[in-house]
């Protein structure tokens, strides 16, 4: 093996970068799929509207409408009896069949909402219903019975659309208009109804999400790079140990190849009715015998098989002889002339049976696998040693984590000492009323407030860093009583707040962590709505796509929804510290807790209209 230092750190950096890029790519892919899913849902909804409208028209045989300058008799319905009628008061009416009704509705809907509708067929009365190339291909597939619907993303007029088309079959009310085209059977494929939804609005949202994902993944990548540098020494030690173990493994594998090299086969040919067996010379040599020392009978084989292995060998052999398995194969021990036991791979197959299926002749081979068995034992020993080494390295890594935690506490203590001194001296000065002017006393109050805020910031940062290393214990938690307890704990300073807690059900989660998440979310809601005349907090949940979504909604000051993604970063604030107290870490803690549960958290708001925070837990 090359003795030059292996660039493990570079591989870790590359691996971490690839992981972040893969995560980014996966999330961008999911956003793209969600974009298409929403477009398909809109297309399906519009299709359902169109097909319901057409079916209503078909059930009523179309409708008569007044003849106007805009609405002239449909020329391609001239073959329909009573297309044009005159009412008793002399008003001229003309028939609109279901296809014409739907076509007019689709055209007006496209002008108003941008969603295009199409009714088309391989044969048509209205030339405007002629299919384009994609529609023609789908219609031909419908007629052949290959499918009944189709989706595609393509451009129409230079703009991207999600296109959907479904087969349209003849109904009783269709015959009077379309029989002239040869469609006379109910249930026959008549054509297709299609919907095209513009993708531009969805792509705009997709591009915004992609930009935010890029920013968040970039931040995570930077944090990871800092972590890689911190544990570099431990990784270098593990690299050297791994190289040593790889060298040992390569050496053992080479010995195994040499042990198996040159092995040949012993042959046997068994006449079952007589029990006679023809062995070759290698079969005898494998056991240390000359061929003339082995009686050519199946009993010779039976006497040499290890007694402990015989029951299993007999079971496998009988299963094949009875025709229940395609071949016979076992690994068992046989006694050599020297008294030693050797391992053989015994394979065979019945090659001749009588009219009743009884076996007449079987042939097979013996392969000495004693070397392989010994090698397997060696590999088991090596695997055990490897597991022991891995356990040792894991213990070393755990000790490193503990040292990091101890270091964090040390830093916390060293920072708190000068803060306590600042606060103490400020208090002493404050007690001397004659020594301070009003302006100085105001400055002194600011110093004390800054020292208190710095202490809170240190505590929150330590709590945030400990989240990644704390034990994660999942239990079944009753959410409603847990949240009611948090509300009772937090609501006392806010007597005017109206708090409604809905039924939240059960969840599999870490009760300590999830309680902290509720404290942070409900505490924020109370804080930011306290200035309202009638503060109101609503806590509940709902089911979306099979997942439970929890939410905390308030009628507080809210925020600009465009900046919602920034809320969950460390030290990210959308309001001034002078207006609302806090360290800017609470929502980052919520995000880390939720993500440890395999969920996600997000927020919706408008400035001055309150805010709603949502989160999910793992499936």
- pLDDT winner (highest mean) among 32-46, 325-339, 413-427, 459-473: 325-339
What percent of the chain has pLDDT above 90? 23
Min mean pLDDT across 249-253, 485-489, 505-509 is at 249-253
On whether residue 390 sits in a domain, the answer given is no
Which residue blocks in 157-305 are alpha helix, DSSP H? 175-178, 200-230, 232-260, 281-285, 298-304
Among 537, 550, 551, 541, smallest CA distance to 610 is for 537
Q: Is 161 found in the same domain as 46? A: yes
Residue 288's pLDDT is 92
CB 435 within 8 A of CB 471: no
- What's the confidence (pLDDT) of residue 518? 93
Alpha-carbon distance of 615 to 619, in angstroms, equals 13
Short-list 502, 501, 492, 496, CA closest to 535: 496
Mean pLDDT of 291-311: 93
Instruction: Choose the final residue of a domain: 307, 338, 368.
Output: 368
Looking at residue 531, what is its pLDDT?
Answer: 80
Residue 441 structure tokens? 């006393």
Distance CA 448, CA 433 (A): 16
The mean pLDDT value for 205-218 works out to 80
pLDDT tier for residue 238 given thresholds of 50, 70 and 90: confident
Looking at the structure, do residues 48 and 163 belong to the same domain, yes or no? Answer: yes
Domain identity same for 164 and 15? yes
**Mean pLDDT of all residues in the chain?**
79
Domain finish residue from 322, 348, 368:
368
- At 35-77, the pLDDT tens digits run 778 877 877 777 787 777 777 867 776 778 887 877 778 776 7
Going by the DSSP 8-state scheme, the letter that residue 84 receives in this structure is E
Confidence (pLDDT) at 295: 93
Identify the band that residue 272 occupies on the pLDDT scale cut at 50, 70 and 90.
Answer: very high
Tell me the pLDDT band of 81, cut-offs 50, 70 and 90.
confident
Rounded CA separation 588/459 (Å): 14
Mean pLDDT of 553-566: 75
And the tokens for 335?
A: 């006694």
Q: What's the mean pLDDT in 269-278?
A: 94
Furthest-apart CA pair in the chain: how many Å? 124
The token pair that represents 107 in the structure block: 């055209």
Is residue 544 in a domain?
Answer: yes
Over residues 375-394, the mean pLDDT reads 87
Do 340 and 480 reside in the same domain of the chain?
Answer: no
* Per-residue model confidence (pLDDT) at position 480: 93
Stronger pLDDT, 211 or 554, i.e. the higher one: 554
Q: Tens of pLDDT along 350-373?
A: 999 999 999 999 999 999 899 888
Looking at residue 5, the DSSP 8-state letter turns out to be P
How confident is residue 261, by pLDDT bands cut at 50, 70 and 90?
Answer: very low
pLDDT at position 423: 64
Report pLDDT for 314: 94
Question: 512 with 597, same domain?
Answer: yes
Q: Within 13 A of 250's CA, how many CA atoms are on the CB side?
A: 7
Higher pLDDT, 420 or 611: 611
Same domain, 271 and 186: no
Domain extent at residue 584: 475-616
Share of the chain above pLDDT 70, in %: 77
Tokens standing for 382? 């090596």
The helix/strand/coil state of 208 is helix
The answer to whether residue 247 is domain-embedded is: no
pLDDT tier at 254, thresholds 50, 70, 90: low
Strand partners, 331: 345
pLDDT at 428 over 70: no
Query: Are 486 and 574 members of one domain?
Result: yes
Range of 11-20, 229-238, 325-334, 591-600 with top mean pLDDT: 325-334
Distance CA 162, CA 134 (A): 13
Decide if 245 is inside a domain. Answer: no
Cβ contact 6:239 at 8 Å: yes
More reliable by pLDDT, 226 or 102: 226
Three-class DSSP category at 45: helix
pLDDT at 614 over 80: yes
Let me know whether 193 and 283 are in one domain: no
Residue 411 near residue 419, CB atoms below 8 Å: no
Domain match, 34 and 166 both: yes
Model pLDDT, residue 500: 93
**pLDDT (average), residues 471-489:** 88
Residue 23 has what pLDDT?
Answer: 85
In the predicted model, what is the mean pLDDT of residues 533-558? 90
Joined tokens for residue 497? 């707040």
30-34, 250-254, 498-502: lowest mean pLDDT where? 250-254
Q: Which of 265-274, 420-429, 494-503, 549-558 has the lowest mean pLDDT?
A: 420-429
Q: What whole-number distance in Å separates Cα of residue 139 and Cα of residue 385?
A: 67
CATH number of the domain residue 310 falls in: 3.30.450.20
Rounded to 5 degrees, what angle do the CA atoms 444, 447, 453 make?
Answer: 145
Query: Is the pLDDT reported for residue 6 higher than 70?
Result: no
Q: What is the mean pLDDT of residues 106-129?
A: 76
Confidence of residue 179 (pLDDT cuts 50, 70, 90): low
User: pLDDT grade, residue 297 (50/70/90)?
Assistant: very high
Residue 388 lies inside a defined structural domain of this protein: no
- Tens of pLDDT, residues 501-511: 999 999 998 88
- The CATH number of residue 488's host domain is 3.30.565.10
| Co-location of 290 and 196 in the same domain | no
| Interatomic CA distance for residues 311 and 317, integer angstroms | 10
User: Residue 491 domain-assigned?
Assistant: yes
* Least confident interval from 60-69, 91-100, 439-448, 554-563: 439-448
Q: How confident is the model at residue 451 (pLDDT cuts 50, 70, 90)?
A: low
Burial class of residue 274 (count of CB atoms within 10 Å of its CB; 0-12, 13-18, 19+)? exposed
41 within some domain: yes
194 or 183, which is more confident? 194
Question: What is the average per-residue pLDDT within 429-458?
Answer: 63
Question: Cβ neighbours of residue 247 under 8 Å, at least 6 residues apart?
Answer: 1
Q: Does 255 fall in a domain? A: no
- Domain C-terminal end among 335, 368, 401: 368
Q: How far is CA 354 from the centre of its chain?
A: 58
On whether both 45 and 129 belong to a single domain, the answer is: yes
Higher-confidence residue of 108 and 450: namely: 108
Whether the pLDDT of residue 520 is over 60: the answer is yes
Radius of gyration of the chain (CA): 40
- Give how many domains the chain has, as a whole number: 3
The CA-based angle 597-603-609, given to 5 degrees, is: 150
Tell me: do 178 and 41 sit in the same domain.
Answer: yes
Contacts of 272 (CB under 8 A, 6+ apart): 321, 359, 360, 361, 362
For residue 3, the model assigns a pLDDT of 46
Starting at the edge strand found earlier in the chain, the sheet holding 328-335 runs 276-279, 265-271, 359-368, 341-353, 328-335
Region 534-555 average pLDDT: 91
């Amino acid at each position: 093996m090359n003795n030059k230092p292996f660039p493990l750190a570079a591989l870790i950096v590359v691996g971490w970068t690839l992981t972040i890029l893969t995560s980014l790519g996966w999330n961008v892919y999911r956003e793209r799929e969600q974009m298409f899913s929403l477009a398909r849902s809109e297309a399906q909804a519009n299709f359902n509207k169109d097909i319901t409208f057409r079916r209503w028209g078909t059930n009523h045989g179309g409708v008569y409408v007044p003849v106007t300058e805009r609405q002239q008799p449909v020329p391609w319905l001239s073959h329909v009896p009573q297309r044009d009628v005159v009412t008793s008061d002399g008003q001229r009416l003309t028939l609109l069949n279901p296809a014409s009704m739907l076509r007019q509705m689709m055209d007006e809907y496209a002008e108003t909402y941008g969603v295009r509708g199409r009714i088309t067929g391989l044969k048509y009365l209205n030339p405007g219903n002629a299919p384009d190339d994609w529609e023609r291909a789908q219609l031909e597939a419908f007629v052949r019975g290959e499918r009944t619907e189709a989706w595609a993303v393509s451009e129409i007029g230079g703009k991207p659309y999600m296109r959907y088309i479904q087969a349209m079959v003849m109904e009783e009310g269709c015959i009077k208009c379309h029989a002239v085209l040869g469609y006379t059977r109910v249930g026959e494929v008549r054509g297709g109804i299609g919907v095209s939804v513009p993708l531009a609005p969805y792509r705009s949202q997709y591009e915004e999400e992609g930009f935010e994902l890029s920013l968040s993944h970039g931040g995570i990548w930077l944090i990871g790079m800092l972590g890689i540098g911190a544990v570099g020494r431990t990784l270098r030690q593990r690299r050297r140990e791994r190289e040593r173990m790889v060298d040992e493994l390569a050496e053992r594998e080479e010995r195994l190849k040499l042990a198996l090299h040159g092995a040949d086969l012993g042959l046997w040919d068994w006449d079952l009715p007589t029990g006679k067996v023809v062995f070759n010379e290698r079969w005898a040599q494998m056991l240390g015998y000359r061929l003339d020392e082995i009686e050519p009978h199946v009993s010779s084989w039976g006497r040499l098989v290890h007694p402990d292995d015989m029951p299993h060998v007999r079971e496998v052999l009988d299963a094949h002889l009875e025709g229940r398995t395609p071949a016979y194969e076992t690994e068992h021990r046989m006694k050599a002339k020297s008294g030693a036991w050797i391992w053989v791979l015994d394979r065979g197959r019945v090659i001749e049976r009588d009219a009743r299926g009884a076996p007449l002749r079987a042939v097979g081979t013996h392969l000495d696998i004693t070397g392989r068995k010994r090698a397997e034992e060696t590999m088991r020993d090596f695997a055990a040693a490897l597991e022991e080494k891995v356990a040792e390295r894991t213990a070393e890594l755990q000790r490193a984590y503990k040292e990091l935690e101890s270091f964090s506490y040390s830093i916390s203590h060293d920072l708190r000492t000068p803060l306590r001194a600042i606060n103490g001296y400020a208090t002493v000065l404050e007690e001397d009323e004659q020594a301070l002017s009003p302006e100085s006393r105001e400055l002194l109050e600011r110093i004390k407030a800054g020292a208190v805020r710095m202490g809170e910031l240190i505590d929150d940062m330590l709590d945030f860093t400990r989240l990644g290393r704390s034990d994660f214990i999942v239990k079944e938690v009753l959410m409603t009583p847990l949240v009611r307890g948090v509300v009772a704990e937090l609501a006392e300073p806010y007597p005017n707040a109206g708090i409604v807690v809905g039924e939240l059900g059960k969840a599999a989660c870490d009760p300590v962590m999830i309680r902290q998440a509720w404290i942070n979310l409900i505490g924020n809601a109370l804080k930011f709505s306290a200035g309202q005349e009638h503060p109101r907090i609503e806590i509940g949940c709902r089911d979306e796509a099979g997942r439970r979504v929890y939410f905390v909604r308030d009628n507080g000051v809210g925020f600009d929804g465009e900046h919602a993604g920034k809320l969950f970063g460390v030290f990210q604030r959308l309001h001034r510290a002078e207006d609302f107290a806090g360290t800017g870490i609470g929502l980052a803690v919520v995000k880390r807790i939720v993500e440890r549960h395999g969920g996600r958290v997000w927020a919706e708001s408008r400035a001055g209209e309150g805010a709603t925070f949502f989160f999910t837990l793992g499936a």
